[in-house]
């Protein structure tokens, strides 16, 4: 399991939790399992949320490997003009 820390505006989709533990061997698997466990997060993730793994920016790399105990920070995309 990895710990996924949620940006404050995302917490309402995870019963107010600041972080949740999610299974997965890649960033993509973790995001898929996160959306399955908390369906309200799926549109946010699909819209292009940014994330870091252990402090390193992961960009769009959903194939990046993750290991037991890793920390992921998920940040909602900020839109504007």
| 47-79: pLDDT as tens digits | 888 889 999 988 777 889 999 999 999 988 766
Tokens of 13: 């989709």
**CATH classification of the domain holding 59:** 3.10.20.30
3-class secondary structure, 18: coil
The answer on pLDDT for 26 being more than 90 is yes
Domain annotation covers residue 32 = yes
Q: What is the number of other CB atoms lying within 10 angstroms of the CB of residue 80?
A: 3
- Give the helix ranges, DSSP H, for the chain: 27-37, 42-46
Q: Is residue 20 part of a domain?
A: yes
* Domains held by the chain: number: 1
Report residue 7's pLDDT band, with 50, 70 and 90 as the boundaries. Answer: very high
Rounded distance, CA 23 to CA 68, Å? 8
Range of the domain at 45: 2-75
Instruction: Check: pTM over 0.95? Answer yes or no.
Output: no
Please report the pLDDT score of residue 79 as a whole number: 65
Phi first, then psi, for residue 48 (nearest 5°) are: 105, 50
Q: What is the pLDDT of residue 2?
A: 96
For position 76, what pLDDT does the model report? 80
């Amino acid at each position: 399991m990895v710990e996924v820390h949620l940006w404050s505006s995302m917490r309402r989709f995870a019963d107010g939790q600041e972080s949740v533990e999610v299974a997965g061997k890649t960033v993509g698997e973790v995001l898929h399992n996160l959306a399955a466990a908390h369906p309200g997060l799926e549109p946010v993730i699909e819209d292009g949320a940014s994330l870091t793994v252990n402090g390193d920016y992961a960009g769009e790399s959903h194939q990046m490997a993750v290991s037991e105990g890793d920390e992921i920070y998920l940040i909602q995309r900020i839109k504007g003009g």
